[in-house]
Amino acid sequence: MRLISNKALREFASLYPDANAPLQAFRVRVEKGVYRNFAELKATFRGVDKVGERYVFNIGGNKYRVVAFVQFDKRRVFVKAVLTHSDYDKGAWK
């Protein structure tokens, strides 16, 4: 899979340095995987949920969220938002 974009992960990590390692580990797992559907994605990322048309990944022991749009047929993951748990709960990302 191709992750678009790592820039969003790096920018978030510049604000929350402890998020860098789990976000980059997430990136590596996405890029090494091939997921044809949600079930295959869920098998690798137990902490992912489908919310509408987007997928929400729990990162860093549930401290952070990556909201993404996944195109299984084109093997792309578009990062739409990277948030703290509390910012995610506020719901402004929807």
Whether 64 contacts 22, CB under 8 Å: yes
Q: Where are the domains of the chain?
A: 2-90
- C-alpha pair distances (Å), 15 with each of 4, 20, 31: 20, 10, 24
Statement: residue 93 has pLDDT above 80: no
Statement: residue 38 has pLDDT above 90: yes
Residues 45-56 pLDDT 10s: 999 999 999 999
CATH class entry, domain 2-90: alpha beta
Which tokens in the block code for residue 70?
């996944």
Look up the pTM and report it.
0.92
How far, rounded to the nearest angstrom, does the alpha carbon of residue 53 sit from its chain's CA centroid? 14
